[in-house]
């Protein structure tokens, strides 16, 4: 089959580029705040060059072949940068789809005389650009997912602080669902902190844990046992009335674990164990 | 006669779905005015069962329904999966039995937390568990 599009594209590359950029600039969704026109120009030029190179092979249907590697690579990195920069998926997809419009315009212009070839070429090029725009979407979503994963791990990190409330007493407020991964982080942080501070009592506060089921309980028991092996004691505080009843019905055995209803009472019992007394200062005479 | 008023099906594929499912369930339970204690019992029981889906069958679906039966209103939750199934249900319902090194309290514990508990399972054909917790 004659590779008309490739010929036309090579010949009129600058026109295509111009029309494409014009399309993008006219598009009301263009985010000038996120990307300058110069940057847009360089990016588009680079992509168009590798696109023309790929089309020259005459392969329009299979974008998983070697010719399209550079194109897809550019599209991937472009989509991911855009995902990070805060573009919407629509804005990212429009970028590739507006190239279609530009190419069709130029093809129309060049192949006026031969309508049949024109239609054929338009269908082929439009299929190709559709699959390329799907590539950008996939990459875009992947970029977003990476952002989410990064945030998740960040939340895990910051949501498990170990606080030194008093000499020898550590507190760990746990907020959110306790899964295996978080338990691991909590345990590591706690055990390390016990070594660093030489503490002998750790208070695990579960006021912020919405549901205590057997898995959460199992994780808590593991943490308590590990603390005990380090020679420290562990108190679990923040057990709400409804959680207490649920634990009983579930049949979880927490007899080996010291529990308190509030952080305050846990702290008081920790002070007692350390033989410390908290008293009000006497008013000055 | 039991009438189902409101129905929603959720897919369970990952740990994230469990969090979403618990939130939806809480919405349903608090909408019909269930007490905090019963809400917690329902959510904890559901949490056990949905976790079983993830651990043993990897994926499945749950159906949340608001049901009424004469004067009572409550929430019915159905857990369906196409997993390996349970060979010996009476044994699985015993406290402390687990094939997975867990506490072995999930199924019997969940049963104690709800008003109605039904389990159907054939090895190789998946498991369906239905629970109901009445408003009071």
Model confidence over B55-113: pLDDT tens digits? 899 999 999 999 998 888 999 999 999 989 888 888 888 888 888 778 888 889 899 99
Substitution target in A214, A239, A240 with the highest count of B β-carbons within 10 Å is: A214
Which pLDDT band holds residue A2 (cuts at 50, 70, 90)? low
d(CA A236, CA A204): 5
Taking the C-alpha atoms of residue B44 and residue A230, their distance in angstroms, rounded to an integer, is 32
> How many whole angstroms separate alpha carbon A190 and alpha carbon A283?
39
The pLDDT of residue A29:
66
CB contact at 8 A, A101 and A27: no
Cross-strand partners of B81? B60, B127
Averaged pLDDT, A159-167: 85
Assign B96 to helix, strand or coil. coil
Kindly state the average pLDDT of the residues B12-19: 86
User: Would the pLDDT of A245 be above 70?
Assistant: yes
Range of the domain at B116: 2-134
Whether B37 sits inside 8 A of A179 (CB atoms) is no
Average pLDDT over residues A273-280: 88
Q: What is the mean pLDDT of residues A211-222?
A: 86
| Chain A residues within an 8 Å CB radius of B56 | none
- Which has the closest alpha carbon to B37: A261, A266, A248? A248
Helix A180-197 and helix A214-229: axis angle, to 10°? 20
Residue A222: CA atoms inside 13 Å, Cβ hemisphere, count?
A: 19
For residue range A73-114, list pLDDT tens digits in order: 888 888 888 887 878 888 888 888 888 888 888 888 888 888
Query: A177 or A122, which is more confident?
Result: A122
Q: Which residue of B has its CA nearest to A214?
A: B106
Is 90 exceeded by the pLDDT of residue A171? Answer: yes
Fold held by A4-154: Globin-like (1.10.490)
The pLDDT value given to residue A285? 65
Using beta carbons and an 8 Å cutoff, which residues of B are at the interface with A?
A: 15, 18-19, 22, 36-37, 39-41, 43-44, 47-48, 51, 95, 102-103, 105-106, 108-110, 112-113
Q: What is the arithmetic mean of pLDDT over A196-225?
A: 89
Write the CATH number for B47: 3.30.565.10
**Contact criterion met (CB below 8 Å) for A168 and A201:** yes
Measure CA A193 to chain center.
Answer: 29
Q: Which among A22-31, A124-133, A147-156, B74-83 has the top mean pLDDT?
A: B74-83
Let me know if A147 is exposed, middle or buried by CB neighbors in 10 A (0-12, 13-18, 19+): middle
- Residue A266 in this model has a pLDDT that exceeds 90: yes
pLDDT for B14: 86
- Contact predicate B109/A216, CB 8 Å: no
- pLDDT value at residue B118: 94
A252 contacts in chain B (CB < 8 Å)? 103, 105, 109
Residue % of chain A over a pLDDT of 90: 16
Residue A220 above 70 pLDDT? yes
* DSSP calls for chain A: ---HHHHHHHHTHHHHHHHHHHHHHHSTT--TTTS-HHHHHHHHHHHHHHHHHHHTTT--S-TTSGGGHHHHHHHHHHHHHHHHHT--HHHHHHHHHHHHHHHHHHHHHHTTT-HHHHHHHHHHHHHHHHHHHHHHHHHHHHHHHHHHHHHHHHHHHHT---EEEETTEEEEEEES---HHHHHHHHHHHHHHHHHHT-SEEEEEEEE-S---HHHHHHHHHHHHHHHHTT-EEEEE---HHHHHHHHHHT---TTSEE-SSHHHHHHHHHHHTT----PPPPP-
pLDDT at position A150 over 90: no
Helix axes A69-85, A37-55, angle to 10 degrees: 150
* Cβ contact, residue pair A251, B108, below 8 Å: yes
Backbone angles phi, psi at A252, to 5 degrees: -80, 130
Q: How many domains does chain B have?
A: 1
Query: Comparing C-alpha atoms, which of B86, B76, B79 is closest to residue B115?
Result: B76
Q: How confident is the model at residue A39 (pLDDT cuts 50, 70, 90)?
A: confident
CA–CA–CA angle A118, A120, A123 (5° rounding):
105
Query: Mean pLDDT: which of A56-60, A65-69, B34-38 is highest?
Result: B34-38
pLDDT in tens, B25-39: 999 999 999 998 899
Mutate to test the interface with A, among B18, B22, B40 (most CBs of A within 10 A): B40
Domain coordinates of chain A in residue numbers? Answer: 4-154, 163-273
The band of B130, judged by pLDDT with boundaries at 50, 70 and 90, is very high
Please give the residue of chain A at the shortest CA–CA distance from B49: A213
Across chain A, mean pLDDT equals 84
Residue A1 has pLDDT above 50, yes or no: no
Residue A268's pLDDT is: 92
Residues in CB range of A58: below 8 A, 6 or more apart: A1, A3, A6
Dihedral angle sign, alpha carbons of residues A111, A116, A117, A123:
positive
pLDDT at A179 over 60: yes
Give the residue-averaged pLDDT of A196-205: 92
CB contact under 8 A, A252 and B103: yes
DSSP three-state, residue B99: coil
- Find the angle CA(A242)-CA(A243)-CA(A245) to the nearest 5 degrees: 65
Residue A259, beta-bridge partner list: A236
Tokens read off for A256: 């080996």
Given a contact cutoff of 8 angstroms between Cβ atoms, the answer to whether B117 and B131 are in contact is yes
Query: What topology is assigned to A163-273 in CATH?
Result: Transcription Regulator spoIIAA (3.30.750)
Which of A151 and A29 is assigned the larger pLDDT?
A: A151
């Amino acid at each position: 089959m004659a590779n008309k599009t490739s010929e036309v594209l090579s010949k009129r590359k600058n026109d295509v580029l111009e029309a494409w950029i014009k399309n993008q600039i006219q598009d009301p969704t263009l985010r000038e705040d996120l990307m300058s026109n110069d940057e847009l120009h360089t990016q588009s030029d680079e992509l168009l060059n590798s696109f023309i190179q790929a089309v020259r092979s005459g392969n329009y249907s299979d974008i998983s072949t070697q010719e399209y590697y550079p194109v897809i690579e550019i599209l991937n990195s472009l989509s991911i940068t855009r995902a990070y920069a805060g573009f919407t998926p629509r804005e990212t997809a429009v970028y590739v789809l507006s190239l279609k419009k530009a190419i069709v315009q130029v093809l129309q212009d060049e192949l006026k005389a031969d309508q049949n070839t024109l239609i054929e070429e338009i269908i082929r090029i439009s299929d190709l650009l559709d699959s390329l725009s799907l590539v950008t979407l996939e990459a875009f979503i992947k970029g977003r997912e990476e952002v989410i994963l990064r945030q998740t791990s960040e939340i895990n990190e910051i949501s498990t602080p170990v606080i030194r409330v008093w000499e020898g007493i550590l507190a760990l407020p746990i907020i959110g669902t306790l899964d295996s991964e978080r338990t691991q982080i909590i345990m590591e942080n706690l055990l390390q902190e016990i070594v660093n501070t030489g503490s002998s009592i750790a208070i695990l506060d579960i006021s912020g844990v919405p549901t205590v089921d057997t898995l959460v309980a199992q994780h808590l028991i593991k943490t308590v046992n590990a603390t005990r092996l380090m020679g420290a004691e562990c108190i679990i505080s923040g057990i709400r009335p409804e959680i207490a009843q649920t634990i009983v019905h579930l049949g979880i055995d927490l007899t080996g674990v010291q529990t308190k209803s509030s952080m305050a009472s846990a702290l008081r019992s920790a002070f007692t164990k350390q033989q410390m007394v908290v008293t009000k200062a006497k008013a000055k005479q | 006669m039991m009438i189902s008023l409101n129905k929603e099906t959720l897919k369970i594929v990952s740990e994230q779905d469990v969090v979403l499912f618990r939130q939806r369930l809480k919405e349903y339970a608090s909408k019909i005015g269930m007490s905090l204690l019963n809400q917690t019992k329902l959510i904890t029981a559901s949490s056990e069962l949905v976790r079983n889906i993830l651990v043993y069958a990897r994926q499945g679906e749950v159906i949340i329904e608001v049901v009424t039966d004469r004067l009572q209103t409550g929430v019915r939750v159905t857990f369906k999966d196409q997993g390996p199934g349970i060979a010996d249900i009476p044994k699985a319902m015993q406290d402390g039995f687990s094939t997975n090194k867990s506490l072995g309290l999930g199924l019997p514990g969940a049963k104690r937390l709800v008003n109605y508990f039904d389990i159907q399972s054939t090895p190789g054909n998946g498991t369906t568990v239905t629970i109901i917790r009445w408003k009071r």
